[in-house]
Structure 1
Amino acid sequence: MQTTIEIFDYWNRIRGAADAPLKSQVEPSAVPHLLQSLFILETRDAGNIGFRLAGTRICDLFGRDLRGERFSSLWGNGQHADIERTAMGVMDHAMPALFNATGYSTIGHQASFEIIMMPLRSPHGACDRLLGAIAPTAAASWLEVVPLEFLALDRSRLLPGKFGTAAPTELRPINEIVAGKSAGFGQVMRRMVSQLLSVEAH
Protein backbone atom coordinates (compact mmCIF):
# COMPACT_ATOMS: atom_id res chain seq x y z
CA MET A 1 0.00 0.00 0.00
CA GLN A 2 1.30 3.42 -0.98
CA THR A 3 0.32 5.04 2.33
CA THR A 4 2.22 2.56 4.49
CA ILE A 5 5.23 2.55 2.15
CA GLU A 6 5.44 6.36 2.16
CA ILE A 7 5.19 6.79 5.93
CA PHE A 8 7.72 3.99 6.50
CA ASP A 9 10.12 5.63 4.05
CA TYR A 10 9.69 8.95 5.88
CA TRP A 11 10.28 7.30 9.28
CA ASN A 12 13.31 5.48 7.90
CA ARG A 13 14.72 8.71 6.49
CA ILE A 14 14.42 10.81 9.64
CA ARG A 15 15.86 8.12 11.93
CA GLY A 16 19.14 8.07 10.02
CA ALA A 17 21.53 5.62 11.67
CA ALA A 18 19.43 5.34 14.84
CA ASP A 19 17.05 2.43 15.39
CA ALA A 20 14.18 4.91 15.92
CA PRO A 21 13.81 8.69 15.45
CA LEU A 22 13.02 11.18 18.19
CA LYS A 23 9.34 12.09 18.30
CA SER A 24 10.40 15.74 17.92
CA GLN A 25 11.80 14.87 14.48
CA VAL A 26 8.35 14.06 13.11
CA GLU A 27 7.15 17.06 11.09
CA PRO A 28 3.51 16.85 9.92
CA SER A 29 4.26 19.37 7.19
CA ALA A 30 6.60 16.82 5.58
CA VAL A 31 3.75 14.37 4.88
CA PRO A 32 0.58 16.53 4.64
CA HIS A 33 -1.14 14.14 2.20
CA LEU A 34 -0.84 11.26 4.72
CA LEU A 35 -2.05 12.99 7.88
CA GLN A 36 -5.65 11.75 7.62
CA SER A 37 -4.44 8.14 7.77
CA LEU A 38 -1.82 8.55 10.52
CA PHE A 39 -1.98 7.92 14.25
CA ILE A 40 0.32 8.30 17.25
CA LEU A 41 0.06 5.90 20.18
CA GLU A 42 1.52 6.48 23.63
CA THR A 43 2.06 4.48 26.77
CA ARG A 44 -0.03 5.68 29.70
CA ASP A 45 0.24 5.61 33.46
CA ALA A 46 -2.35 2.83 33.63
CA GLY A 47 0.09 0.59 31.72
CA ASN A 48 -1.93 0.49 28.50
CA ILE A 49 -1.44 2.04 25.06
CA GLY A 50 -3.80 4.71 23.79
CA PHE A 51 -4.31 7.10 20.90
CA ARG A 52 -2.60 10.45 21.38
CA LEU A 53 -3.63 11.47 17.87
CA ALA A 54 -5.74 9.83 15.16
CA GLY A 55 -6.25 11.17 11.64
CA THR A 56 -9.74 12.11 10.48
CA ARG A 57 -9.91 9.23 8.01
CA ILE A 58 -9.20 6.72 10.77
CA CYS A 59 -11.84 8.28 13.04
CA ASP A 60 -14.32 8.24 10.15
CA LEU A 61 -13.65 4.52 9.60
CA PHE A 62 -14.73 3.76 13.16
CA GLY A 63 -17.40 6.44 13.39
CA ARG A 64 -15.92 8.20 16.44
CA ASP A 65 -13.06 10.32 17.71
CA LEU A 66 -10.34 7.91 18.83
CA ARG A 67 -8.18 10.38 20.76
CA GLY A 68 -7.58 8.99 24.26
CA GLU A 69 -9.09 5.60 23.44
CA ARG A 70 -7.17 2.37 23.97
CA PHE A 71 -5.61 0.98 20.79
CA SER A 72 -6.78 -2.51 21.70
CA SER A 73 -10.42 -1.32 21.61
CA LEU A 74 -10.32 -1.46 17.80
CA TRP A 75 -9.68 -5.20 17.78
CA GLY A 76 -11.83 -8.27 18.29
CA ASN A 77 -12.29 -9.37 21.90
CA GLY A 78 -9.95 -12.34 21.67
CA GLN A 79 -7.01 -10.21 20.50
CA HIS A 80 -7.07 -7.26 22.94
CA ALA A 81 -4.22 -8.41 25.18
CA ASP A 82 -2.04 -9.78 22.36
CA ILE A 83 -2.35 -6.61 20.26
CA GLU A 84 -1.39 -4.42 23.20
CA ARG A 85 1.59 -6.59 24.14
CA THR A 86 2.78 -6.59 20.54
CA ALA A 87 2.52 -2.80 20.26
CA MET A 88 4.51 -2.55 23.48
CA GLY A 89 7.08 -4.96 22.05
CA VAL A 90 7.54 -2.79 18.95
CA MET A 91 8.45 0.08 21.29
CA ASP A 92 10.57 -1.98 23.70
CA HIS A 93 12.67 -3.50 20.92
CA ALA A 94 12.51 -0.61 18.39
CA MET A 95 11.37 -2.92 15.61
CA PRO A 96 8.75 -1.59 13.14
CA ALA A 97 6.04 -4.03 12.14
CA LEU A 98 3.34 -4.32 9.50
CA PHE A 99 -0.04 -5.96 10.08
CA ASN A 100 -2.68 -7.17 7.65
CA ALA A 101 -6.14 -7.15 9.17
CA THR A 102 -9.77 -7.57 8.18
CA GLY A 103 -12.21 -4.92 9.33
CA TYR A 104 -15.83 -5.87 10.00
CA SER A 105 -18.60 -3.30 9.87
CA THR A 106 -21.61 -3.06 12.17
CA ILE A 107 -23.79 -4.59 9.44
CA GLY A 108 -21.46 -7.34 8.23
CA HIS A 109 -19.31 -5.70 5.54
CA GLN A 110 -15.66 -6.73 5.33
CA ALA A 111 -12.57 -4.87 4.11
CA SER A 112 -8.83 -5.55 4.21
CA PHE A 113 -6.38 -3.13 5.83
CA GLU A 114 -2.66 -2.59 6.26
CA ILE A 115 -1.52 -1.20 9.60
CA ILE A 116 2.05 -0.09 10.19
CA MET A 117 3.60 0.71 13.57
CA MET A 118 7.02 2.37 14.01
CA PRO A 119 8.70 3.31 17.31
CA LEU A 120 9.49 6.91 18.34
CA ARG A 121 11.99 7.95 21.02
CA SER A 122 11.67 10.50 23.80
CA PRO A 123 14.56 12.91 24.52
CA HIS A 124 15.76 10.60 27.31
CA GLY A 125 16.15 7.77 24.79
CA ALA A 126 13.28 5.38 25.55
CA CYS A 127 10.74 4.43 22.88
CA ASP A 128 7.40 5.35 24.43
CA ARG A 129 5.32 6.27 21.37
CA LEU A 130 4.40 4.73 18.05
CA LEU A 131 3.86 6.43 14.71
CA GLY A 132 1.49 4.46 12.53
CA ALA A 133 -0.99 4.38 9.69
CA ILE A 134 -4.15 2.48 8.84
CA ALA A 135 -5.11 2.18 5.17
CA PRO A 136 -7.58 -0.02 3.27
CA THR A 137 -5.93 -2.24 0.68
CA ALA A 138 -8.75 -1.62 -1.82
CA ALA A 139 -11.45 1.00 -2.27
CA ALA A 140 -14.92 0.17 -0.94
CA SER A 141 -17.94 2.44 -1.34
CA TRP A 142 -19.22 1.78 2.19
CA LEU A 143 -16.00 2.67 4.01
CA GLU A 144 -16.29 5.85 6.13
CA VAL A 145 -20.08 5.64 5.70
CA VAL A 146 -20.79 2.44 7.64
CA PRO A 147 -18.56 2.31 10.78
CA LEU A 148 -16.18 -0.54 11.41
CA GLU A 149 -17.04 -2.54 14.50
CA PHE A 150 -13.66 -4.23 14.97
CA LEU A 151 -10.45 -5.41 13.32
CA ALA A 152 -9.17 -9.00 13.23
CA LEU A 153 -5.51 -9.76 12.60
CA ASP A 154 -4.67 -11.88 9.55
CA ARG A 155 -0.85 -11.80 9.54
CA SER A 156 2.09 -9.75 10.77
CA ARG A 157 5.69 -9.22 9.71
CA LEU A 158 8.82 -7.27 10.49
CA LEU A 159 9.87 -4.68 7.94
CA PRO A 160 13.16 -4.84 6.06
CA GLY A 161 15.36 -1.78 5.71
CA LYS A 162 13.56 -0.80 2.52
CA PHE A 163 9.88 -1.67 2.76
CA GLY A 164 8.43 -2.68 -0.59
CA THR A 165 11.73 -3.77 -2.15
CA ALA A 166 12.16 -7.16 -0.49
CA ALA A 167 9.90 -10.15 -0.20
CA PRO A 168 7.93 -10.01 3.07
CA THR A 169 8.87 -12.43 5.80
CA GLU A 170 5.82 -14.07 7.27
CA LEU A 171 5.58 -14.17 11.05
CA ARG A 172 3.56 -16.56 13.11
CA PRO A 173 0.07 -15.58 14.32
CA ILE A 174 0.05 -12.86 16.93
CA ASN A 175 -0.83 -15.16 19.81
CA GLU A 176 2.39 -17.05 19.05
CA ILE A 177 4.50 -13.92 18.54
CA VAL A 178 3.74 -12.88 22.09
CA ALA A 179 3.85 -16.45 23.34
CA GLY A 180 4.96 -17.33 26.79
CA LYS A 181 7.42 -16.01 29.24
CA SER A 182 9.84 -18.81 28.40
CA ALA A 183 10.36 -17.58 24.83
CA GLY A 184 9.79 -13.88 25.41
CA PHE A 185 8.85 -11.32 22.81
CA GLY A 186 12.40 -10.05 22.41
CA GLN A 187 13.82 -13.49 21.63
CA VAL A 188 11.08 -14.20 19.10
CA MET A 189 11.54 -10.84 17.39
CA ARG A 190 15.31 -11.24 17.20
CA ARG A 191 14.85 -14.69 15.65
CA MET A 192 12.50 -13.18 13.05
CA VAL A 193 15.09 -10.52 12.22
CA SER A 194 17.71 -13.21 11.68
CA GLN A 195 15.35 -15.06 9.34
CA LEU A 196 14.65 -11.85 7.45
CA LEU A 197 18.35 -11.04 6.98
CA SER A 198 18.94 -14.59 5.79
CA VAL A 199 16.19 -14.21 3.16
CA GLU A 200 17.60 -10.85 1.98
CA ALA A 201 21.13 -12.27 1.75
CA HIS A 202 19.91 -14.71 -0.88
Structure 2
Amino acid sequence: MLRNGTGWCEMRLQTTIEIFDYWNRIRGAADAPLKSQVEPSAVPHLLQSLFILETRKGGDIGFRLAGTRICDLFGRDLRGERFSSLWANGQLADIERTAMGVMDHAMPALFNATGYSTVGHQASFEIIMMPLRSPDGACDRLLGAIAPAAAASWLEIVPLEFLALDRSRLLPGKFDKAAPAEPRPINRIVAGKSIHFGQVMRRMVSQLLSAEAR
Protein backbone atom coordinates (compact mmCIF):
# COMPACT_ATOMS: atom_id res chain seq x y z
CA MET A 1 0.00 0.00 0.00
CA LEU A 2 1.28 3.49 -0.89
CA ARG A 3 0.53 6.80 0.72
CA ASN A 4 0.97 10.42 -0.23
CA GLY A 5 0.46 13.83 1.26
CA THR A 6 -3.30 13.65 0.80
CA GLY A 7 -3.84 10.23 2.35
CA TRP A 8 -3.71 6.52 1.70
CA CYS A 9 -3.80 4.98 -1.75
CA GLU A 10 -4.99 1.40 -1.78
CA MET A 11 -2.66 0.21 -4.53
CA ARG A 12 -1.72 -3.32 -3.53
CA LEU A 13 -0.22 -5.14 -6.51
CA GLN A 14 3.43 -4.94 -7.51
CA THR A 15 2.65 -4.40 -11.20
CA THR A 16 0.47 -1.33 -10.64
CA ILE A 17 2.77 0.06 -7.95
CA GLU A 18 5.84 -0.23 -10.19
CA ILE A 19 4.29 1.27 -13.32
CA PHE A 20 2.79 4.13 -11.32
CA ASP A 21 6.17 4.77 -9.71
CA TYR A 22 7.80 4.81 -13.17
CA TRP A 23 5.14 7.17 -14.59
CA ASN A 24 5.50 9.45 -11.57
CA ARG A 25 9.28 9.49 -11.96
CA ILE A 26 9.39 10.40 -15.65
CA ARG A 27 6.80 13.16 -15.39
CA GLY A 28 8.91 15.14 -12.94
CA ALA A 29 7.09 18.36 -12.05
CA ALA A 30 4.59 18.04 -14.92
CA ASP A 31 1.03 16.77 -14.54
CA ALA A 32 1.78 14.03 -17.07
CA PRO A 33 4.85 12.90 -19.01
CA LEU A 34 5.23 13.14 -22.78
CA LYS A 35 4.44 9.88 -24.54
CA SER A 36 7.96 10.03 -26.03
CA GLN A 37 9.37 9.75 -22.49
CA VAL A 38 7.99 6.25 -22.01
CA GLU A 39 10.84 3.80 -22.59
CA PRO A 40 9.78 0.12 -22.72
CA SER A 41 13.34 -0.91 -21.92
CA ALA A 42 12.98 0.75 -18.50
CA VAL A 43 10.23 -1.67 -17.42
CA PRO A 44 10.77 -4.85 -19.49
CA HIS A 45 9.32 -7.14 -16.81
CA LEU A 46 6.02 -5.22 -16.88
CA LEU A 47 5.45 -5.03 -20.64
CA GLN A 48 3.16 -8.06 -20.88
CA SER A 49 0.73 -6.43 -18.43
CA LEU A 50 0.78 -2.91 -19.92
CA PHE A 51 -1.48 -1.21 -22.43
CA ILE A 52 -1.67 2.14 -24.20
CA LEU A 53 -5.01 3.71 -25.10
CA GLU A 54 -5.59 6.54 -27.55
CA THR A 55 -8.45 8.81 -28.53
CA ARG A 56 -9.61 8.20 -32.09
CA LYS A 57 -11.25 10.28 -34.78
CA GLY A 58 -14.64 8.80 -34.03
CA GLY A 59 -14.42 10.11 -30.47
CA ASP A 60 -13.98 6.75 -28.79
CA ILE A 61 -10.95 5.33 -26.96
CA GLY A 62 -9.16 2.27 -28.31
CA PHE A 63 -6.13 0.09 -27.68
CA ARG A 64 -3.03 1.29 -29.47
CA LEU A 65 -0.99 -1.44 -27.78
CA ALA A 66 -1.81 -4.29 -25.39
CA GLY A 67 0.66 -6.60 -23.66
CA THR A 68 0.61 -10.31 -24.40
CA ARG A 69 -0.69 -11.22 -20.95
CA ILE A 70 -3.66 -8.87 -21.36
CA CYS A 71 -4.46 -10.30 -24.80
CA ASP A 72 -4.17 -13.82 -23.39
CA LEU A 73 -6.63 -12.95 -20.62
CA PHE A 74 -9.29 -12.14 -23.21
CA GLY A 75 -8.24 -14.74 -25.75
CA ARG A 76 -7.64 -12.30 -28.60
CA ASP A 77 -5.43 -9.52 -29.91
CA LEU A 78 -6.82 -6.27 -28.48
CA ARG A 79 -4.92 -3.83 -30.67
CA GLY A 80 -7.40 -1.48 -32.35
CA GLU A 81 -10.30 -2.71 -30.21
CA ARG A 82 -12.45 -0.27 -28.30
CA PHE A 83 -11.48 -0.15 -24.62
CA SER A 84 -15.07 -0.16 -23.41
CA SER A 85 -15.69 -3.46 -25.24
CA LEU A 86 -13.96 -5.29 -22.37
CA TRP A 87 -16.53 -4.13 -19.85
CA ALA A 88 -20.03 -5.14 -18.79
CA ASN A 89 -22.74 -3.72 -21.05
CA GLY A 90 -24.19 -1.41 -18.42
CA GLN A 91 -20.82 0.25 -17.80
CA LEU A 92 -19.63 0.99 -21.35
CA ALA A 93 -20.42 4.72 -21.33
CA ASP A 94 -19.13 5.22 -17.78
CA ILE A 95 -15.82 3.47 -18.50
CA GLU A 96 -15.19 5.54 -21.61
CA ARG A 97 -16.16 8.75 -19.82
CA THR A 98 -13.82 7.86 -16.95
CA ALA A 99 -10.90 7.23 -19.30
CA MET A 100 -11.61 10.53 -21.06
CA GLY A 101 -11.74 12.29 -17.70
CA VAL A 102 -8.30 10.95 -16.75
CA MET A 103 -6.93 12.57 -19.93
CA ASP A 104 -8.93 15.80 -19.67
CA HIS A 105 -7.84 16.43 -16.08
CA ALA A 106 -4.35 14.87 -16.37
CA MET A 107 -4.94 12.85 -13.23
CA PRO A 108 -4.36 9.06 -12.95
CA ALA A 109 -6.99 6.70 -11.62
CA LEU A 110 -6.97 3.28 -9.97
CA PHE A 111 -9.69 0.67 -10.51
CA ASN A 112 -10.78 -2.55 -8.88
CA ALA A 113 -12.73 -4.85 -11.17
CA THR A 114 -14.04 -8.40 -11.28
CA GLY A 115 -13.40 -10.42 -14.41
CA TYR A 116 -15.90 -13.09 -15.49
CA SER A 117 -14.93 -15.98 -17.74
CA THR A 118 -17.01 -17.53 -20.48
CA VAL A 119 -17.78 -20.48 -18.16
CA GLY A 120 -18.51 -18.55 -14.97
CA HIS A 121 -15.12 -18.20 -13.26
CA GLN A 122 -14.42 -14.97 -11.37
CA ALA A 123 -11.16 -13.15 -10.61
CA SER A 124 -10.30 -9.79 -9.08
CA PHE A 125 -8.13 -7.29 -10.94
CA GLU A 126 -6.35 -4.04 -10.19
CA ILE A 127 -6.19 -1.61 -13.11
CA ILE A 128 -4.38 1.71 -13.36
CA MET A 129 -4.66 4.40 -16.04
CA MET A 130 -2.23 7.33 -16.30
CA PRO A 131 -2.32 10.23 -18.79
CA LEU A 132 0.35 10.83 -21.44
CA ARG A 133 0.93 14.10 -23.30
CA SER A 134 1.55 14.77 -26.98
CA PRO A 135 4.21 17.34 -28.02
CA ASP A 136 1.47 20.01 -28.25
CA GLY A 137 0.74 19.50 -24.54
CA ALA A 138 -2.63 17.77 -24.87
CA CYS A 139 -3.25 14.50 -23.02
CA ASP A 140 -4.55 12.17 -25.70
CA ARG A 141 -3.18 8.80 -24.62
CA LEU A 142 -3.24 6.64 -21.52
CA LEU A 143 -0.62 4.29 -20.15
CA GLY A 144 -2.14 1.53 -18.09
CA ALA A 145 -1.75 -1.90 -16.53
CA ILE A 146 -4.06 -4.79 -15.70
CA ALA A 147 -3.00 -7.25 -13.01
CA PRO A 148 -4.89 -10.12 -11.35
CA ALA A 149 -5.11 -9.83 -7.57
CA ALA A 150 -4.25 -13.52 -7.15
CA ALA A 151 -2.88 -16.32 -9.28
CA ALA A 152 -5.50 -18.59 -10.85
CA SER A 153 -4.62 -21.46 -13.15
CA TRP A 154 -7.83 -21.08 -15.17
CA LEU A 155 -6.77 -17.59 -16.30
CA GLU A 156 -4.19 -19.23 -18.54
CA ILE A 157 -6.72 -21.39 -20.36
CA VAL A 158 -10.20 -19.85 -20.10
CA PRO A 159 -10.65 -16.36 -21.59
CA LEU A 160 -12.42 -13.57 -19.76
CA GLU A 161 -15.76 -12.56 -21.20
CA PHE A 162 -15.94 -9.14 -19.56
CA LEU A 163 -14.82 -6.95 -16.64
CA ALA A 164 -17.22 -5.39 -14.15
CA LEU A 165 -16.09 -2.26 -12.32
CA ASP A 166 -16.26 -2.51 -8.53
CA ARG A 167 -14.81 0.91 -7.67
CA SER A 168 -12.43 3.58 -8.90
CA ARG A 169 -10.55 6.49 -7.36
CA LEU A 170 -8.15 9.23 -8.33
CA LEU A 171 -4.45 9.19 -7.51
CA PRO A 172 -3.83 12.91 -6.97
CA GLY A 173 -0.51 14.48 -6.08
CA LYS A 174 3.00 13.08 -6.10
CA PHE A 175 3.85 10.19 -3.82
CA ASP A 176 6.77 10.85 -1.53
CA LYS A 177 8.46 9.40 1.52
CA ALA A 178 6.97 11.88 3.94
CA ALA A 179 3.85 10.42 5.54
CA PRO A 180 1.24 12.48 7.42
CA ALA A 181 0.98 11.92 11.16
CA GLU A 182 -2.66 10.85 10.81
CA PRO A 183 -3.26 9.44 7.32
CA ARG A 184 -6.66 10.30 5.88
CA PRO A 185 -8.45 8.07 3.35
CA ILE A 186 -8.53 9.59 -0.11
CA ASN A 187 -11.84 10.29 -1.75
CA ARG A 188 -13.21 7.55 -3.97
CA ILE A 189 -15.15 7.68 -7.19
CA VAL A 190 -17.67 4.97 -7.81
CA ALA A 191 -18.52 4.79 -11.49
CA GLY A 192 -22.27 4.76 -11.91
CA LYS A 193 -24.96 6.08 -14.19
CA SER A 194 -26.38 8.31 -11.46
CA ILE A 195 -23.23 10.45 -11.20
CA HIS A 196 -21.58 12.14 -14.18
CA PHE A 197 -17.84 11.60 -14.05
CA GLY A 198 -17.03 15.19 -15.02
CA GLN A 199 -19.00 16.55 -12.06
CA VAL A 200 -17.29 14.15 -9.67
CA MET A 201 -13.87 15.01 -11.09
CA ARG A 202 -14.41 18.76 -10.70
CA ARG A 203 -15.56 18.30 -7.10
CA MET A 204 -12.58 16.06 -6.38
CA VAL A 205 -10.11 18.57 -7.82
CA SER A 206 -11.73 21.36 -5.80
CA GLN A 207 -11.39 19.35 -2.59
CA LEU A 208 -7.76 18.58 -3.30
CA LEU A 209 -6.92 22.22 -3.96
CA SER A 210 -8.65 23.20 -0.72
CA ALA A 211 -6.69 20.57 1.19
CA GLU A 212 -3.39 21.79 -0.27
CA ALA A 213 -4.26 25.40 0.63
CA ARG A 214 -4.67 24.33 4.25
Do both share a fold (TM > 0.5)?
yes
Asked whether the 8 Å contact 2:87–2:162 carries over to 1, the reply is: yes
- Superposed displacement of residue 171, structure 1: 17
Asked whether the 8 Å contact 1:103–1:150 carries over to 2, the reply is: yes
- Superposed displacement of residue 189, structure 1: 1.5
Distance 1:85 1:39 in 2: 18
Asked whether the 8 Å contact 2:132–2:141 carries over to 1, the reply is: yes
- Superposed displacement of residue 177, structure 1: 5.7
- In the other structure, the counterpart of 1:30 is 42
Distance 1:144 1:120 in 2: 31
Query: Could you say if the C-alpha distance between residues 129 and 3 of structure 1 is closer, same or farther in structure 2, counting changes exceeding 3 Å?
Result: same
Asked whether the 8 Å contact 2:63–2:83 carries over to 1, the reply is: yes
Asked whether the 8 Å contact 1:43–1:50 carries over to 2, the reply is: yes
Deviates more, 1:72-81 or 1:174-183: 174-183
Asked whether the 8 Å contact 1:178–1:185 carries over to 2, the reply is: no
Asked whether the 8 Å contact 1:178–1:184 carries over to 2, the reply is: no
- In the other structure, the counterpart of 2:133 is 121
- Superposed displacement of residue 185, structure 1: 3.9
Provide, for residues 78-102 of structure 1, a one-character-per-residue CA deviation record: whole Å limited to 9, x for no partner. 0111100110110011010000000
Distance 2:122 2:182 in 1: 23
Structure 2 SS opposite 1:17: coil
Distance 1:95 1:76 in 2: 24
- Superposed displacement of residue 42, structure 1: 0.2
Provide the aligned length of Structure 1 versus Structure 2.
202
- Superposed displacement of residue 190, structure 1: 3.6
Structure 1 SS opposite 2:33: coil
Deviates more, 1:168-177 or 1:114-123: 168-177
Query: Could you say if the C-alpha distance between residues 109 and 174 of structure 1 is closer, same or farther in structure 2, counting changes exceeding 3 Å?
Result: farther
Provide, for residues 41-100 of structure 1, a one-character-per-residue CA deviation record: whole Å limited to 9, x for no partner. 000001100000000000000000000000000000001111001101100110100000
Structure 2 SS opposite 1:186: helix
Provide, for residues 152-190 of structure 1, a one-character-per-residue CA deviation record: whole Å limited to 9, x for no partner. 000001114356989999999999969999986444214
Structure with bigger RCO (C-alpha 8 Å, 6+ apart): 2
Deviates more, 1:157-166 or 1:111-120: 157-166
Please report the RMSD computed on the Cα atoms of aligned residues, expressed in angstroms.
4.3
Query: Could you say if the C-alpha distance between residues 16 and 120 of structure 1 is closer, same or farther in structure 2, counting changes exceeding 3 Å?
Result: same
Structure 1 SS opposite 2:152: coil
Aligned to 1:175, which of 187, 190, 200?
Answer: 187
User: Structure 2 length normalisation: TM-score?
Assistant: 0.82
Query: Could you say if the C-alpha distance between residues 82 and 42 of structure 1 is closer, same or farther in structure 2, counting changes exceeding 3 Å?
Result: same
Gap runs ≥5 in structure 2: 1-12
